[in-house]
Amino acid sequence: MPELPEVETTRRGLQPHVEGRRVLAVVLRRADLRWPIPAAIERVLPGQRISTIERRAKYLLLHTQAGSALIHLGMSGALRVLAPGVPVGSHDHYDLLLDTGRVLRYTDPRRFGCLLWQTPGTLHPLLAELGPEPLSADFDGDYLWRRAHGRSAPIKTFLMDQRIVVGVGNIYAAEALFTAGIHPLRAAGRVSRARCAALADAVKRILEHAIARGGTTLRDFISPDGLPGYFEQELTVYGRAGLPCKRCGHTVNMITLGQRSSFYCPHCQR
């Protein structure tokens, strides 16, 4: 699944092509994705100018005066800005026709993404209970330590809870815990304040670096300019079960945690 850096890479790739552009028409080729597509997408969005494209967690919002289109890429979704006349594929589910003549096209073989609508002055229920952005000033070691107090959940599960902090998915949680030297099964409430500070700092540094490098290339994700991300070449622990730890040489282990594969070094992470 595209994680925060991939979604941010998408936002930055789309920004110069969609901000300030008017949506001339919406072409829906199906009535639903993960959820039904609201009628407002076809009724209200055409004719509106996109003022900004924002990322909140792993969602993209196309803001207009009349409201905002709320987009999630799901497990396999991708957005492209295409020249007019590009043939439509079997998994191309909707187009936004822009006043430049180009088309913003959404492709999603698995259809786990979404296209929803947020009316002005409201917050969509999907966004209502989200925690702070990991790259914002609201997320730091003190915040993490306060929220972890008394919690028995494994620190990796805790870190991936979108109510605690948004957008820290499986890959980046594993990498941050390795960098901070924290075992993924350690109870969140048993992580010291100093180690929470190290973990929050690791999350920020790893996400910023991944964004700068274009995100992690996943099987179903390609960035809007057609180039894959490069961060996967630098992963230190994720996906390396059975291989030597890049830091100490001990064998990297894998466990299943919350129905996800978790990778860690038993020597470096305690």
From 34, 151, 246, 260, active-site residue: 260
pLDDT of residue 230: 61
Q: Is 46 a catalytic residue?
A: no
Residues 171-220 have pLDDT tens digits of 999 999 999 999 999 999 999 999 999 999 999 999 999 998 877 655 55
Task: Name the pTM for this structure.
Answer: 0.91
pLDDT of residue 231: 67
Residues 98-127 have pLDDT tens digits of 999 999 999 999 999 999 999 999 999 999
From 11, 55, 58, 80, active-site residue: 58
Tell me which residue of 98, 19, 100 sits closest to 60, measured CA to CA.
19
Residues 136-160 have pLDDT tens digits of 999 999 999 999 999 999 999 999 9
Q: Is 2 a catalytic residue?
A: yes
Q: Is 30 a catalytic residue?
A: no
Q: Is 29 a catalytic residue?
A: no
How many alpha carbons fall within 13 Å on the CB side of residue 252?
A: 21
Strand, helix or coil for residue 186: coil
CB 35 within 8 A of CB 114: yes
